[in-house]
Amino acid sequence: MTILRILLGAAMLFAGRNLFWLFLGVVGFILGFDLAERLVHGQPQGVIFIIAMIAGVACALLAVMLQKFAILAGGFIAGAYLLPALLTEFGSPPGHYYWIFFVVGGVGGAFLLTVFFNSALIVLSSVVGSDLVVRSLHIGHQLGKVLFVFLLLVGIVIQAGTTHPRPSPRRRT
């Protein structure tokens, strides 16, 4: 699972904005995996992986079929995953208040992605990608923070650099 998380994290860092369906699929997979580990204790890893795959495919299909709803749902899912994960990563795990941070992060992510779609998608996919890579490497806390910020900046710069304004259509006279 470590290599898969690193590969998914790299995909998010470099292509999360350009491939919205990939962004939603990866976030759905990771959130599905994390939630399945919490909810179905004692089940084989294969069962948890299948639940995560179903969640990821459902989110990717949602992005393709219902784009407007998918933007709102994708923001919620990304925020719901990120806030508890970042709190844990930076030394303040949510503990018994996990669901409160899950909902607050989800509402915040939905708001950001709805209002500031392109910019928020770049930042959210870069944060998710950075978090996936750093958490998968199991490195020291201080080095992890430095690597997280470095990867976050690299992801934002790369994705923002691939954003090209479309030329306005010329009117024929």
pLDDT tier, 169 (very low <50, low <70, confident <90, very high otherwise):
low
- Residues 10-14: what's their mean pLDDT? 82
- In this prediction, residue 48 carries a pLDDT of 85
- The yes-or-no verdict on residue 168 having pLDDT over 70 is no
Per-residue pLDDT, averaged over 100-104, amounts to 89
In whole angstroms, give the CA distance from residue 26 to residue 16. Answer: 9
Of the two residues 21 and 130, the one the predictor is more confident about is 130
For residue 151, the model assigns a pLDDT of 94
So what's the pLDDT on residue 107?
A: 92
Secondary structure class of 171 (helix, strand, coil): coil
Average pLDDT over residues 127-142: 86
% of residues, the chain, pLDDT over 90: 8
* 0.75 surpassed by pTM: no
| Residue 153 in this model has a pLDDT that exceeds 70 | yes
Note the residue count of the chain. Answer: 173
> What confidence category does residue 166 fall into, taking pLDDT thresholds of 50, 70 and 90?
low
- Show the DSSP H helices in the chain as ranges: 2-15, 20-39, 45-65, 67-89, 98-115, 117-137, 141-161
Whole-angstrom Cα distance, residue 125 to residue 99?
22
Domain ranges of the chain: 2-161
pLDDT the model gives residue 165: 54
Rounded CA separation 132/129 (Å): 5
Q: What is the pLDDT of residues 13-67, one digit of tens each?
A: 887 766 777 777 887 888 888 888 888 877 888 888 888 888 888 888 877 787 7
